[in-house]
Amino acid sequence: MGRTGRGRAAAARAGAGTGGGADVPAADAPQLRVVSGEFYPDWEAVYRDNVDRVYRLMFAKVGNRPDAEDLTAEVFLAALRPLRVSASAAEVRAYLFATARTVLAGHWRRTLGREITRLTDDDELELVPADDAVSSAAVGSSAAVGRAAAILAELPELYRRILELRFLDSCSVREAAAALGVSVAYAKVLQHRALRRAAQLLEVNR
């Protein structure tokens, strides 16, 4: 692929400076100064408080570490540079979320040409909780586990088992085939069909 985190980060940085590329939300409501008594003292506090949340959100949407790391970096490089002025913690998180939504959409446009996953309003509630008691550890992961469990529960036994073994238990296709007592070739077919069925269920549940 030759697509390195460093290179994409540099592109994001360049984009942020010119107002193009990063495509951050427009400053259409400068008079708004709403809510949350909490303020971040500096960008480092913004970063420390949100890097974990943003990463988890991204991981839930791309499912792999290298992409999740690159996209998280892209969000902060695009968002933190123009981040200035007093903004409440809630405003900063809403802004990070808006940036993350744009960054994720750009990722799918570049890599597959189709928007596979997107950040929804429900995701925003996780990133920007009304109450800070929602720990960042809950962001993304709990929702992802819930969604996966809901899909798996509706699948026929064999489909459910192959997906559990492969996706949740980190089994190789060979190990999964052995566990199910089927051939490796059939395990591959099963996995393929199970994913299609799971996709239909996801569609229905949306």
Partner 1 sequence: MSARGVRRFVADLLAGRRPRSFRADDTDVGPLRAAITLRAARPGSTAPGDEFVTDLHRRLAAAQTDQDVQPLPLPRPVVDGTRRRLVAATSIAAAAAAVGAVADHALTSRSPAPSRPGGQQTLLPNTGEWRTVSTSADLAEGGVRGFDLGTVVGFVARTGGALRAVSGVCTHLGCRLALNAPARRLDCPCHTTSFALNGELLRYQLAVPPPALPQLEVRETQGVVQVYAPPGPVV
| Angle between the N-to-C axes of helices 89-111 and 65-80, in degrees from 0 to 180, rounded to the nearest 10 | 130
- Short-list 94, 87, 88, CA closest to 129: 94
21, 106, 129, 186: residue in contact with partner 1 (rule CB under 8 A): 129
3-state secondary structure 57-97: HHHHHHCCHHHHHHHHHHHHHHHHCCCCCCCEHHHHHHHHH
Task: Tell me the closest approach of the beta carbon of residue 71 to partner 1, in angstroms.
Answer: 11
**Contact call for residue 121 and partner 1 (CB under 8 A):** yes
177: Cα within 13 Å, side-chain hemisphere: 11
15, 71, 80, 104: residue in contact with partner 1 (rule CB under 8 A): 80
**Positions in 84-103 near partner 1 (CB under 8 A):** 84-92, 94-95, 97-98
Task: Tell me the closest approach of the beta carbon of residue 192 to partner 1, in angstroms.
Answer: 7
**Contact call for residue 162 and partner 1 (CB under 8 A):** no
Cβ-based nearer residue to partner 1, 30 or 181: 30
**Contact call for residue 45 and partner 1 (CB under 8 A):** yes
